[in-house]
Amino acid sequence: MKTTETPLPAESGAPVVKIDVPATRPAARKKEGGVLNVFSHGMLILWAVMVVMPLLWAVMTSFKDDSSIFGSPWSLPDKLHFDNWARAWTDANMGDYFLNTVLVVGGSLIGTLVLGSMAAYVLARFDFPGNRFIYYLFVGGMSFPIMLALVPLFYVVNNMGLLNTIHGLILVYIAYSLPFTVFFLTAFFRTLPTSVAEAAFVDGASHTRTFFQIMLPMAKPGLISVGIFNFLGQWNQYMLPTVLNTDPDKRVLTQGLVQLAVSQGYKGDWSGLFAGLVMAMLPVLGAYIVFQRQVVAGLTAGALK
């Protein structure tokens, strides 16, 4: 404890009052903060090792031959067997599956972001009868299990003549991804300043021009964030293409990997299988590494408002 003196005005004639104030302990607080930082950083390092090590092991294994995979699974490859990648790309038709996946995911991602951003902007910026009802319909769509919709979805797509087609799979992916996209972007558009849009209206800009030329560029962090999440989910989607895309020439990567693993029989081309796995994994990792700052900025924009 330390004592401080609080003098009163001289004309009052009152005695000096002494107040006991607890002394601060910056050293103790600094020590507690240091222990907490060490613990949190240690947990982050442990989590990073648990995530990164399997990825590095898969990449390393894709350059080994089959004997090295089982003989010394944790050692570095004696030499880089690029023939594993060539064999998976050509013999297993991974190149065709990769192209089909790029077409499906690229088209569905563009359609999801365009339609989702337009719907989210209207729900976030305009008040009209049924606004909250439509919003909660999208939110409810996030909780609807896709397993329950597979059978009726198959018949709907078949009756529309879109079964075993690339554009049919694109439309289904868009419908599957819209609920989360609208939910995410509605909250993001609400954080954007209204003064910018009002200034555009005063200058004579239409609602369409204001959205595409002003509000949509301002929502770039949110678009990149939700785009990465949708890209990850659509790239790794297996259930929908398995049910709606049975044409062998139009399979996507997830179907190709399963076909590669099943068709081996007793041959066991594990090196080619790991090469195909890494092929399917690299685009997602590359997209996240490139846009990781924008993803974090989009996720924290509402908290920083």
Band of residue 107 on the pLDDT scale cut at 50, 70, 90: very high
Note the pTM of the prediction, 2 decimals: 0.78
Report how far Cα 103 is from the mean position of its chain's Cα atoms: 19
- How far apart, in whole angstroms, are the C-alpha atoms of residue 2 and residue 257? 72
- How far apart, in whole angstroms, are the C-alpha atoms of residue 218 and residue 127? 21
pLDDT exceeds 70 at position 71: yes
User: Would you state the pLDDT for residue 286?
Assistant: 85
Query: SS3 for 2?
Result: strand
Instruction: For the beta carbon of residue 270, count every other beta carbon within 10 angstroms.
Output: 18
Q: What angle do CA 283, 177, 187 make, to 5 degrees?
A: 105
Give burial (CB, 10 Å; 0-12/13-18/19+) of 187: middle
User: Would you state the pLDDT for residue 305?
Assistant: 46
Query: SS3 for 13?
Result: coil
Give burial (CB, 10 Å; 0-12/13-18/19+) of 102: middle
Structure tokens at 194: 């209204």
Band of residue 18 on the pLDDT scale cut at 50, 70, 90: low
User: Would you state the pLDDT for residue 284?
Assistant: 85
Give burial (CB, 10 Å; 0-12/13-18/19+) of 52: exposed
User: Would you state the pLDDT for residue 304?
Assistant: 47
- How far apart, in whole angstroms, are the C-alpha atoms of residue 31 and residue 37? 10
Band of residue 28 on the pLDDT scale cut at 50, 70, 90: low
pLDDT exceeds 50 at position 90: yes
pLDDT exceeds 70 at position 191: yes
Q: What angle do CA 293, 295, 301 make, to 5 degrees?
A: 100
pLDDT exceeds 90 at position 170: yes
Query: SS3 for 21?
Result: strand
Band of residue 276 on the pLDDT scale cut at 50, 70, 90: confident
Q: Please report the beta strands in 160-277, taking only residues with DSSP state E, as ranges in sequence order.
A: none
Give burial (CB, 10 Å; 0-12/13-18/19+) of 34: exposed
pLDDT exceeds 70 at position 1: no
Paired residues of 18 in beta bridges: 5
- What average pLDDT does the segment 11-26 reach? 53
- What average pLDDT does the segment 231-244 reach? 90
pLDDT exceeds 80 at position 125: yes
Q: Following CA atoms 291, 293, 298, 302 in sequence, which dihedral angle do they give, to the nearest 10 degrees?
A: 170
**Length in residues, the chain:** 305
Structure-token match 């908290």, residue found: 303
User: Would you state the pLDDT for residue 77?
Assistant: 85
pLDDT exceeds 80 at position 292: no
Structure-token match 């924009």, residue found: 301
Q: What angle do CA 263, 266, 267 make, to 5 degrees?
A: 75
- What average pLDDT does the segment 25-32 reach? 60
- How far apart, in whole angstroms, are the C-alpha atoms of residue 63 and residue 122? 51
| Greater model confidence, 105 or 194 | 105
Mean pLDDT of the chain: 83
Segment holding 19, helix H or strand E: strand 17-21
